[in-house]
Amino acid sequence: MPARTPDGRTLAVDGSPQPFTMGWSYMVWAYGEDGALRFHTAAAGARELIARHLGEYDRLTVREVSWNGARLVSHEDPANGGTTMLWIGPHHEVYTYVPGLNVPFEAFMAQLAPFDVRDAPDGVVLAPRAGSSTRLANLLAFNTLEGVCSVQVNPAAELPAPGGPGKRVRGGALWKLDERRADGRVLRSAVLANETTTATLIARQADDPRFAAVADSIKFKLN
């Protein structure tokens, strides 16, 4: 199923031998009049799950209010003196990190105000409002194939492709890179570039035949 990216484009993936572990998570930068701001989007409740998984949820101060039908939640972490501000809609959530404690919700509302946030089952879109002089750039989509590899997709030309022609595979040109770490383990990654995307796959096990099969068959398309 094609997924909607936060800047309103469509990310289509086919040829994967196994389904993705989860829905796509995105990171995108919003460039406005007063600097740049990073937004993450994911399935609703994902940030809380991550915080619980990392074991930091219990020390967080959680606040919640309701704003135009969506939930605004703040996770205030005294350990690093920062606050994660979340907009949680019916399907997806948008969150950003604000340094400081006791950050008022109004600050986050002001950050979201230049956007028309539209949540739908196929993705949440941050549409800049007319006259807000804000634009979204540097999109990054993230997902995993359980037990095989992690997948990171960037729009083509936002990430430089390695030199050389690469190996011709179904999804474009493929480069493989092995890095030997200090403990002797090999970290194998693959870069898959085509006209619309540059994808980086990082294998869980370097010699996993499933990873080679994924790299040869998977195809990403962004419009």
Partner 1 sequence: MQNVVNSLAVFAFLGMVISLFAVSALLKMVRELRRAVLATPVPATATVRRVARFASPDGLPTFVLVVSEQCLSCRERAARLAAIPPGLIRGHLTLLSASAACARWAEGADHIRAVTDADLLGSVAVGATPSLVRYAPDGTEEWRRVVGSDGDLERLLDMSESSNVSNVR
Q: Which residue's CB is nearer to partner 1, number 36 or number 110?
A: 110
Closest distance to partner 1 from the beta carbon of 114 (Å): 15
Verify binding: residue 34, partner 1, rule CB under 8 A.
no
CA 154 to chain centre: 10
Q: How far apart are CA 210 and CA 216, in angstroms?
A: 10
Among 97, 105, 142, 175, binds partner 1 (CB under 8 A): 105
- Across the strands, what pairs with 207? none
Region binding partner 1 by CB under 8 A among candidate stretches 57-65, 161-169, 193-201, 212-220: 57-65
Verify binding: residue 64, partner 1, rule CB under 8 A.
yes
Q: Which residue's CB is nearer to partner 1, number 29 or number 57?
A: 57
Verify binding: residue 101, partner 1, rule CB under 8 A.
no
Closest distance to partner 1 from the beta carbon of 178 (Å): 49
Region binding partner 1 by CB under 8 A among candidate stretches 3-11, 59-67, 119-127, 152-160: 59-67
Among 35, 53, 66, 195, binds partner 1 (CB under 8 A): 66
Q: How far apart are CA 170 and CA 166, in angstroms?
A: 12
Among 33, 106, 195, 207, binds partner 1 (CB under 8 A): 106
Contact, 200 vs 155, CB < 8 A? no
Verify binding: residue 74, partner 1, rule CB under 8 A.
yes
Q: Where are the beta strands (DSSP E) in 171-218?
A: 172-180, 186-193, 197-203
DSSP SS3 for 109: helix
- Across the strands, what pairs with 189? 177, 202
How deeply is 4 buried, as exposed, middle or buried, from its count of CB atoms within 10 A (0-12, 13-18, 19+)? buried
Closest distance to partner 1 from the beta carbon of 181 (Å): 43
DSSP 19-31: --SS--EEEEEEE
Which positions touch partner 1 (CB under 8 A)?
A: 61-69, 71-72, 74, 104-106, 109
